[in-house]
Amino acid sequence: MAESRPPFPPFSHETAVQKARGAEDAWNSCNPERVSLAYTPDSNWRNRSEFINGRAEIVAFLTRKWIKELDYRLIKELWAFTDNRIAVRFSYEWHDDSGNWFRSYGNENWEFAANGLMQKRFACINDLPIKESERKFHWDRSGPRPADHPGLSDLGL
């Protein structure tokens, strides 16, 4: 496979958890180009009410997203998996340019090609305004979520 991203389907519990954590780490980089490489060149997304097709649109979408969503921190948790599909639930915290904080909650359904790249992504997301003092995601933005930082279930989310 010229372009691939292990682990490959069909997924086991262990490899599905690896995929979810790998996606979390990439998205926490807030690097649109890096994130886009986990998707097939013709990947199809639905993110909220927006439909996105292909890597160029993924990069444009994520660039807009992370200009608006500052100090972004994300946690993903495996919900279910089978063959070449994975479902995750997630939450992320961010603030806008006025200092208003939000926690966004959602679910994603993913479908993978045989080479381990994601070919379909369907995301449903809701935003909840929070006070800065209510934040639960605390780690240095220079890297991924530390292994000892609580996950969503541990945080009661």
Q: Find the mean pLDDT for residues 19-33.
A: 97
| Predicted pLDDT at 105 | 97
Closest CA to 39 of 28, 23, 25, 61: 23
Dihedral over Cα of 108, 111, 112, 117: its sign: negative
The letter for the amino acid at 105 is Y
- Angle 121-72-7 from CA coordinates, rounded to 5°: 40
Query: What pTM does this model have?
Result: 0.96
Q: How confident is the model at residue 1 (pLDDT cuts 50, 70, 90)?
A: low
What average pLDDT does the chain have? Answer: 97
Q: Write down the pLDDT at residue 139.
A: 95
Instruction: Write down all domains in the chain, each with its CATH number in brackets.
Output: 13-134 (3.10.450.50)
**Residue that has been written with the tokens 């605390």 in this structure:** 138
Q: Which two tokens stand for residue 101?
A: 């904080």
Alpha-carbon span 153 to 157, nearest angstrom: 6
pLDDT at 2 over 90: no
Residue 14, H or E segment: helix 13-28
DSSP conformation letters of 37-88: TTEEEEEEEEETTEEEEHHHHHHHHHHHHHHHSEEEEEEEEEEEEETTEEEE
> What mean pLDDT is predicted for residues 68-75?
97
User: Can you tell me the distance from the alpha carbon of 92 to that of 114, in angstroms, rounded to the nearest whole number?
Assistant: 29
